Each structure stands twice: as structure tokens, then as C-alpha cells.
Amino acid sequence: MSGSLTVLAVDDEAPALDEVAFLLSRHPDIGEVIRAADATSALRELNRRRIDAVFLDINMPGLSGIELAGVLAHYARPPAIVFVTAHEDKAVTAFDLGAIDYLLKPIRDDRLDEAVRRVVSSRPADAPTERDDTDSDVIPAEVAGVTHLIPRDSISWVEAEGDYARLHSASGSHLVRIPLGTLENRWREHGFQRVHRSYLVALPFVTGLRSTDGAVLVRLRDNGASPAVELPVSRRQARELRDRVVRTPMRSLRPGGADE
């Protein structure tokens, strides 16, 4: 187990971040310590790699530590959360959010050892080696320095923009740095279907298919933020899309479901 953990230290105060990162780096069970100065940067790191535990300050500008922990609770395989703070008054809230420990500053070596021991004990025996960042039911998207939390089931379609993807959801469109191919692979089991090299659609939003001049178009209903749209379907994807639309429970479709 020596040196097997990858942990993320999050604190908006540089001296405090340096201290917790240094203490963590000395622990024999920790192999890598990643730093983040705010919750948005922390989410970015969590979306890049598998992280076993987050040592998290509570009081931060923007998205607080408590709010970040709430986001991580929606991940399919959330990292262990250890709050690190100078204040005791948030302890009950922290444990309500599933934190496995709560360290007070300045951090004592024996308490840090106990927190790391709890992290190790909390890991499943078959813990995966890679972080599947898009397995969460909520997708973080940053706009002008503000992190928006986008429920996956509010997304009706996704558009490729190079190495990015634009999510069209009930709250508007949001650009995230995730390739469309990655979303295709990870969201298929959640009711999404690749219909074109540039488009991924959510089957519950499909209201029908139609052919015109040899081309196939898929119709998607209004998602609350944008009007109904029609997107092109490649010949290679048309048959599978039809089959999956037919298998989608009718309660999730508006009247006038899949047609030719």
C-alpha cells in the first residue's frame, strides 16, 4: 500500500495550501499530492485523473468547500473527503455530506495519520485506477469564472467543437473540455446515442426520425432553454438509432415518437 494514494489538497490561502501539501507528501501511503487554489481548479483536476481523496478547506470564495463536496457526492465513484479548516462549527454539515474526517488547523501528525488511515480503509478492494470524470449525474461547466452544475438528464444534445463539447441543456448551452467521443463511450448506458460525427443525442428527448432527399434527420423536443431542433443522422448510425428509439420507454417520448 505504500505510496499508493493520489490526493488533492484544496485551499485558497497559499501558506495553508503549502503546509497541508507538505504534510501529505511526507506520508508513506501517499504517492502524489496535487494542489488546487479554489474549487473550480479542483473540479478541473478531478476531471483529469483518478483522485483517491480530497483534503478540502471549507471557507473559500466562489464555490465553497461544502458546495464542492456536495458536487462530488453525485460522482459515480466519489473521492474520500477530508475537511481541513480552522473552524469547528461546520463539522456536523461536513459529516452529513459524507466526509470521512475533519481536521483542524494547525494539523497534528497523529490526526493526519488517522485521516489517511480512514481514506485507505474507505477504498473498495477493486478501486479503479482511472477517474471516469463523466460518470457523475452532474457535469461542472465553467463560464466567465463561475462554475455551473449541469444535470446530465437535462442535456438534450451535445455538439462537437474540436476537443471540446457543447452541452445543450435546460439551462442553456455550456462548453466543456471533453471530446465528444469520450461522452459517447461513457454516456451510452445513460441513454445517449451518437448520430453523427458532430452530434450526440439523448434518447428521451427524441420525438421522431424523418427522411428527406435521401438524408435522415432526428427531431428533438424543446429542452426548456432552446426550441426543438432537427439534426442530421449519418447512414452508419441511422439503423442503431431507430432500434434504440423504439426500445426507449414511451413515457420518455412526446407523442409522435420514432417514425420514418
Tell me, yes or no, whether 166 lies in a domain.
yes
DSSP annotation of 206 reads E
171 and 93 belong to one structural domain: no
Number of domains, the chain: 2
110 and 193 belong to one structural domain: no
Query: What confidence tier does 59 reach under pLDDT thresholds 50, 70, 90?
Result: confident
Tell me, yes or no, whether 64 lies in a domain.
yes
Smallest CA-to-CA distance from 189 within 137, 125, 253 is with 137
Smallest CA-to-CA distance from 10 within 103, 75, 98 is with 103
**What does the pLDDT look like over 158-184, one tens digit per residue?**
999 888 899 999 988 888 878 888 888
Tell me, yes or no, whether 130 lies in a domain.
no
Consecutive H or E run containing 14? helix 14-25
User: Which phi and psi angles does 111 have, rounded to 5°?
Assistant: -70, -35
Smallest CA-to-CA distance from 124 within 80, 82, 94 is with 80
State the average pLDDT for the chain: 83
| Residue 105 buriedness (CB in 10 A; 0-12 / 13-18 / 19+) | middle
**What does the pLDDT look like over 209-231, one tens digit per residue?**
988 888 899 999 988 887 889 99
Smallest CA-to-CA distance from 39 within 61, 14, 19 is with 61
Count the helices and strands in the chain (H runs, E runs). Answer: 7, 15
109: containing domain: 5-122
Q: Quote the CA–CA distance of 77 and 72 in Å, as a whole number.
A: 9
The CATH number of the domain holding residue 90 is 3.40.50.2300
112 and 155 belong to one structural domain: no
Q: Are 84 and 110 in contact (CB under 8 A)?
A: no
- The fraction of the chain above a pLDDT of 70, given in percent, is 85
Tell me, yes or no, whether 134 lies in a domain.
no
Query: What confidence tier does 91 reach under pLDDT thresholds 50, 70, 90?
Result: low
Query: What confidence tier does 81 reach under pLDDT thresholds 50, 70, 90?
Result: very high
118-122, 144-148, 251-255: least confident range:
251-255
170 and 111 belong to one structural domain: no
Query: What confidence tier does 252 reach under pLDDT thresholds 50, 70, 90?
Result: very low
Does 88 score more than 80 pLDDT? no
Q: Give residue 23's identity as a one-letter amino acid code.
A: L
pTM, to two decimals: 0.54
> What pLDDT score does 3 carry?
61
Tell me, yes or no, whether 144 lies in a domain.
no
Supply 15's cell numbers.
Answer: 501558506
